[in-house]
């Protein structure tokens, strides 16, 4: 029986997420290649996924599909109480059950939410492992708890930690907020709420662990193979060189799989004890309780404005609930996007006895954008100004967050023009709520800002073989977003080949280092690294060709599967012929070195939505969405459009359906499944039109590309809410905008 508590604490997952961005901004490389201005043949076009057929035919191996000889099934016993002291754990009966090969105590002391892991067992099959959990005897001393932020904020509420339930974590000021309000012609104050959202990835979390002597291999459904490796090394106190982490395919992560998880450690320890591979895959219920969520928020915004629309003051007070850990910083959009000299922000975490918050596709920005962009529409109506014009009036080419440094590139103004034209902005109700009949239509829009820069020191290799085959290798992860395809596209473009000619290898810690796939950083990290490696391979081939032809390397051009003398095109050598003459394979190392300091690197976008609202039932139907984005050079328009459509689909789901519901009496989640936790289905998805301004960022990396993972997730809920406001004349200031909330808003409108 293991005596040590190995539980991994994910308390700093949100903090670490933001710290990674700060670290990326502090190091300036000695030399940064300028983005290439040449026109590409494949890059920027519509390229089918190189592994698309494998995925849709079910031949792509996900972590859930891993099967090893002698593999055991691991199961985790979780606490049923929202707060309790673990008095004792007895494993003997479970250990003596035939077929059980290992048991483990995972928790000592206080358990702070229902679902926290306490013990684990590994057995020859799932049924036996489940029986083993029933035989584990745990004695608990139950303690007072609180599971909603409103209750947690009350005086005398049970303390989640040995400190107050309310903790201030952000205090931002610029200018003089008091003078800003004094100089305003109009002052408006509104409160907005967002619910806790569960990640609910299609593939639930899971890990497989196998020991071979002192070395362990872990197959993990993760967004960060190197983070998992290093976390295991720290937890197990063994060298990272003895740990290999593999991630082949995964069914979504959205931030919940960014680091090492408790169940992975449990699988590794059970496998070590049993001396056999162990696989742990979480159930849908477990996925709902213990692997993170998007924290809720209660945001109050107050602003002062002149009659001509000039903002004189912006104030935000945010209470965000991340369960047992810190909530999200939701103030970035308010601080950064619009010109305003006087800004004050106060943000507080509210602790509850619920699962820990974790980065969820654009953490903080989704909640903050919903509040800010909704408020701007209400403010625009107050001064009789078109809400799009209000945003344009406060457009800026410099970062407003206290730095006043210029953006490296910004195409938000182009997004406004393009989106307004495509949605037919002139059709909107000039006054919110005007119109008659049971069904009311409205148009709304919202802006978006995100980071989307890459991680310096990302590495990648291009390998040339004597048989003419080519490999592109990087220790990154493909979350389903098309990483393999753009690696093949960039390599093929550079070497005069087709993407299908490139073998892509990723998802293994034995490959060149790459950071986690989160924060929209994968493409702007990996793409320039693989381009660098491919260019070095191309230069080698040019030099070899020039030597054979007795010409200058500058006179060698790479064409389709051949290299030629640009002054005499008839003089050429095929790609395969040239490689055949190599004595051995050649490996070319590429690196993304970073970008110059002194600029703000951000992505931008604007979403426009058209809705209809049934004022008798409160039901909202989204009819059309136009999404316009500036994410630098688009590498593959096909997968980029898929990214945007996916983000919009998730955003519609959040806007209209998704919310965690807690039972205040028992401290348990009421809807930890996909029956009671509502998400959008194919029937809820409208017509979606995607457009990119496709501006090449002049400084960010050699390809001028920015991230696209988070941006389409950020503005859509706000755009829908503003369209509803335009349709019915009152803002439904809480998401999800379920029918009951719409009807309540309409009732408030009636009574004034």
Q: Mean pLDDT, to the nearest integer, of 127-143?
A: 98
| Dist CA 620 CA 148 (whole Å) | 27
Residue % of the chain over a pLDDT of 70: 95
Decide if 164 is inside a domain: no
Q: What's the confidence (pLDDT) of residue 26? A: 54
Decide if 55 is inside a domain: no
* pLDDT, tens digit (0-9, with 9 covering 90-100), for 61-93: 999 999 999 999 999 999 999 999 999 999 999
Q: Mean pLDDT, to the nearest integer, of 401-408?
A: 84
Q: What's the confidence (pLDDT) of residue 3? A: 44
Decide if 187 is inside a domain: no
Whether residue 507 is predicted with pLDDT greater than 60 in this model: the reply is: yes
Q: Mean pLDDT, to the nearest integer, of 418-439?
A: 96
Indicate if 321 and 426 belong to the same structural domain. Answer: yes
**Around 423, how many Cα atoms within 13 Å sit in the side-chain half-sphere?**
33
Decide if 603 is inside a domain: yes
What sections of 280-386 are H helices per DSSP? 284-289, 332-336, 365-382
| Dist CA 168 CA 349 (whole Å) | 6
Q: Are strands 586-592 and 458-464 parallel, antiparallel or unpaired?
A: antiparallel
Indicate if 262 and 363 belong to the same structural domain. Answer: no
Distances (CA, A) of 145 to 117, 350, 356: 18, 14, 15
| Dist CA 456 CA 24 (whole Å) | 7
| Dist CA 696 CA 43 (whole Å) | 12
Instruction: Name the 3-class secondary structure at 442.
Output: strand
Indicate if 547 and 477 belong to the same structural domain. Answer: yes
* pLDDT, tens digit (0-9, with 9 covering 90-100), for 164-210: 999 999 999 999 999 999 999 999 999 999 999 999 999 999 999 99
Which of 380, 473, 367, 466 lies closest to 429 in space, CA to CA?
A: 380
Name 737's Cβ contacts closer than 8 Å, sequence gap at least 6.
620, 655, 656, 720, 721, 724
Q: What's the confidence (pLDDT) of residue 27? A: 60
Whether residue 402 is predicted with pLDDT greater than 70 in this model: the reply is: no
| Dist CA 635 CA 489 (whole Å) | 8
Whether residue 47 is predicted with pLDDT greater than 60 in this model: the reply is: yes
Indicate if 665 and 739 belong to the same structural domain. Answer: yes
Q: What's the confidence (pLDDT) of residue 79? A: 98
Grade residue 404 by pLDDT with cuts at 50, 70 and 90.
Answer: confident
DSSP H or E segment with residue 94: helix 92-95
pTM to 2 decimal places: 0.96
Q: What's the confidence (pLDDT) of residue 24? A: 62
Indicate if 447 and 460 belong to the same structural domain. Answer: no
Indicate if 443 and 492 belong to the same structural domain. Answer: no
Q: What's the confidence (pLDDT) of residue 75? A: 98
Q: Map 389-416 to HEC letters.
A: HHHHHCCCCECCCCCCCEECCCCHHHHH
What sections of 463-614 are H helices per DSSP? 483-495, 522-549, 575-580
* pLDDT, tens digit (0-9, with 9 covering 90-100), for 557-599: 999 999 999 999 999 999 999 999 999 999 999 999 999 999 9
Indicate if 412 and 317 belong to the same structural domain. Answer: yes
> Phi-psi region for residue 392, left (φ > 0), alpha (ψ -120 to 50) or beta?
alpha
Whether residue 293 is predicted with pLDDT greater than 70 in this model: the reply is: yes
Decide if 173 is inside a domain: no
Q: Mean pLDDT, to the nearest integer, of 324-343?
A: 96
Backbone angles phi, psi at 529, to 5 degrees: -70, -45
Query: In 10 A of CB 742, how many CB atoms?
Result: 22
Indicate if 129 and 221 belong to the same structural domain. Answer: yes
| Dist CA 706 CA 394 (whole Å) | 24
| Dist CA 660 CA 670 (whole Å) | 8
Which of 618, 613, 656, 655 lies closest to 744 in space, CA to CA?
A: 618
| Dist CA 598 CA 99 (whole Å) | 62
DSSP structure string for 146-209: --SHHHHTSTTPPPSBSB-SEEEEEEEEES-HHHHHHT-SEEEEEEEEE--EE---SSPPEEEE
CB 474 within 8 A of CB 512: yes
* Domain harbouring 635, CATH code: 3.30.365.10
| Dist CA 640 CA 486 (whole Å) | 10
Indicate if 117 and 107 belong to the same structural domain. Answer: yes
624-627 CB contacts, 8 Å cutoff, 24+ apart: 624/423, 624/686, 624/687, 624/688, 624/689, 625/652, 625/686, 625/687, 625/688, 625/689, 625/716, 625/719, 626/419, 626/422, 626/423, 626/689, 626/691, 627/419, 627/688, 627/689, 627/690, 627/691, 627/712, 627/716
Instruction: Name the 3-class secondary structure at 701.
Output: coil
* pLDDT, tens digit (0-9, with 9 covering 90-100), for 636-686: 999 999 999 999 999 999 999 999 999 999 999 999 999 999 999 999 999
Decide if 180 is inside a domain: no
| Dist CA 574 CA 564 (whole Å) | 9
**Residue 300, beta-bridge partner list:** 191, 317
Of 281, 308, 337, the residue at which a domain comes to its end is: 281
Q: What's the confidence (pLDDT) of residue 187? A: 98
Q: Which domain holds residue 384?
A: 293-453+598-751
Place of tokens 């090969």: 101
Q: What's the confidence (pLDDT) of residue 544? A: 97
Structure tokens at 240: 């990272």
Whether residue 16 is predicted with pLDDT greater than 60 in this model: the reply is: no
Instruction: Name the 3-class secondary structure at 564.
Output: strand
Q: What's the confidence (pLDDT) of residue 7? A: 47
Query: In 10 A of CB 143, how many CB atoms?
Result: 15
Indicate if 481 and 556 belong to the same structural domain. Answer: yes
Decide if 213 is inside a domain: yes
Indicate if 502 and 573 belong to the same structural domain. Answer: yes
CB 627 within 8 A of CB 648: yes
What sections of 619-733 are H helices per DSSP? 637-656, 716-728
Q: Mean pLDDT, to the nearest integer, of 48-61?
A: 96
Name 719's Cβ contacts closer than 8 Å, sequence gap at least 6.
373, 444, 445, 446, 607, 608, 609, 625
Q: What's the confidence (pLDDT) of residue 14? A: 54
Q: Mean of the per-residue pLDDT values for the chain?
A: 95
Of 224, 255, 281, the residue at which a domain comes to its end is: 281
| Dist CA 42 CA 54 (whole Å) | 22
Decide if 10 is inside a domain: no
Whether residue 336 is predicted with pLDDT greater than 80 in this model: the reply is: yes
More confident residue, 680 or 5: 680
Domain count, the chain: 3
Whether residue 2 is predicted with pLDDT greater than 70 in this model: the reply is: no
Whether residue 107 is predicted with pLDDT greater than 60 in this model: the reply is: yes
What sections of 25-74 are H helices per DSSP? 52-56
Of 561, 592, 623, the residue at which a domain comes to its end is: 592
Q: What's the confidence (pLDDT) of residue 400? A: 78
Indicate if 401 and 507 belong to the same structural domain. Answer: no
Whether residue 5 is predicted with pLDDT greater than 80 in this model: the reply is: no
């Amino acid at each position: 029986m293991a005596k040590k508590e190995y539980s991994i604490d994910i308390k700093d997952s949100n903090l670490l997420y933001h710290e990674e961005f700060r670290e990326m901004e502090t190091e300036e490389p000695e030399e940064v290649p300028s983005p290439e201005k040449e026109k590409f043949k494949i890059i920027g076009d519509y390229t089918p996924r190189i592994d698309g057929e494998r995925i849709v035919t079910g031949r792509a191996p996900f972590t859930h599909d891993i099967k090893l000889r002698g593999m055991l099934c691991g199961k985790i016993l979780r606490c049923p109480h929202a707060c309790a002291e673990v008095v004792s754990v007895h494993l003997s009966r479970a250990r003596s059950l035939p077929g059980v090969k290992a048991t483990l105590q995972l928790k000592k002391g206080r358990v702070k939410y229902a679902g926290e892991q306490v013990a684990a067992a590994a057995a020859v099959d799932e049924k036996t492992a489940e029986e083993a959990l029933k035989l584990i005897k745990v004695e608990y001393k139950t303690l007072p708890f609180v599971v909603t932020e409103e209750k947690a904020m009350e005086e005398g509420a049970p303390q989640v930690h040995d400190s107050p339930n309310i903790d201030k974590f952000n205090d931002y000021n610029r200018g003089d907020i008091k003078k800003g309000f004094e100089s305003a012609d109009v002052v408006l104050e509104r409160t907005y709420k967002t619910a806790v959202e569960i990640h609910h990835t299609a593939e639930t979390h899971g890990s497989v662990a196998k020991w071979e002597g002192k070395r362990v291999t872990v197959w993990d459904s993760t967004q960060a193979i190197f983070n998992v490796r290093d976390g295991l090394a720290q937890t197990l106190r063994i060298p990272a060189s003895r740990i290999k982490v593999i991630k082949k395919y995964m069914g979504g992560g959205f931030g919940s799989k960014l680091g090492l998880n408790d169940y992975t450690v449990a699988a590794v320890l059970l496998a070590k004890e049993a001396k056999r591979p162990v696989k742990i895959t979480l159930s849908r219920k477990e996925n709902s309780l213990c692997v993170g969520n998007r924290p809720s928020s209660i945001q109050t915004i107050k602003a002062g404005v002149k009659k001509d629309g000039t903002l004189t003051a912006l104030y935000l007070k945010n209470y965000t609930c991340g369960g047992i850990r810190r909530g999200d910083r939701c103030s970035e959009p308010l601080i950064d996007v619009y010109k305003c000299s006087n800004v004050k922000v106060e943000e507080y975490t509210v602790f509850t006895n619920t699962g820990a918050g974790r980065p969820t596709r654009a953490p903080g920005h989704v909640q903050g954008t919903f509040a800010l962009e909704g408020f701007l529409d209400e403010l625009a109506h107050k001064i009789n100004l078109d809400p799009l014009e209000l945003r344009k009036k406060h457009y800026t080419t410099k970062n407003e967050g206290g730095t006043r440094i210029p953006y490296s590139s910004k195409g938000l103004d182009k997004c406004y023009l393009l989106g307004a034209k495509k949605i037919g902005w002139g059709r909107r109700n000039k006054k919110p709520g005007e119109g008659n009949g049971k069904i009311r239509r409205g148009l709304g829009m919202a802006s978006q800002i995100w980071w989307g820069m890459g991680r310096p020191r990302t590495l990648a290799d291009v390998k040339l073989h004597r048989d003419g085959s080519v490999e592109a290798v990087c220790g990154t992860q493909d979350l389903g977003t098309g990483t393999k395809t753009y690696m093949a596209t960039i390599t093929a473009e550079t070497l005069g080949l087709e993407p299908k000619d490139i073998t892509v290898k990723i998802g293994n810690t034995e490959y060149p280092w790459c950071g986690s796939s989160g924060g929209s950083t994968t493409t702007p990290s990996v793409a320039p690294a693989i381009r660098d490696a491919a260019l070095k391979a191309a230069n080698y081939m040019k030099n070899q060709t020039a030597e054979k032809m007795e010409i200058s390397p500058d006179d060698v051009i790479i064409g389709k599967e051949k290299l030629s003398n640009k002054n005499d095109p008839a003089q050429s050598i095929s790609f395969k012929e040239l490689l055949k003459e190599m004595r051995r394979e050649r490996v070319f190392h590429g690196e993304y070195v970073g970008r110059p300091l002194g600029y703000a690197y951000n992505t931008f976008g604007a979403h426009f939505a058209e809705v209809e609202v049934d004022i008798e039932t409160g039901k909202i139907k989204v009819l059309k969405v136009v999404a316009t984005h500036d994410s630098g050079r688009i590498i593959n328009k096909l997968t980029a459009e898929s990214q945007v459509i996916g983000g919009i689909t998730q955003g519609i789901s959040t806007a209209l359906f998704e919310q965690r519901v807690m039972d205040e009496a028992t401290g348990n989640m009421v809807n930890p499944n996909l029956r009671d936790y509502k998400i959008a289905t194919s029937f809820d998805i409208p017509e979606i039109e995607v457009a990119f301004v496709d501006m090449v960022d002049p400084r960010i990396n050699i390809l001028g590309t920015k991230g696209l993972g988070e941006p389409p997730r950020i503005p859509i809920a706000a755009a829908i809410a503003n369209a509803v406001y335009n349709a019915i004349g009152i803002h439904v200031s809480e998401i999800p905008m379920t029918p009951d909330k719409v009807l309540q808003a309409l009732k408030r409108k009636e009574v004034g």
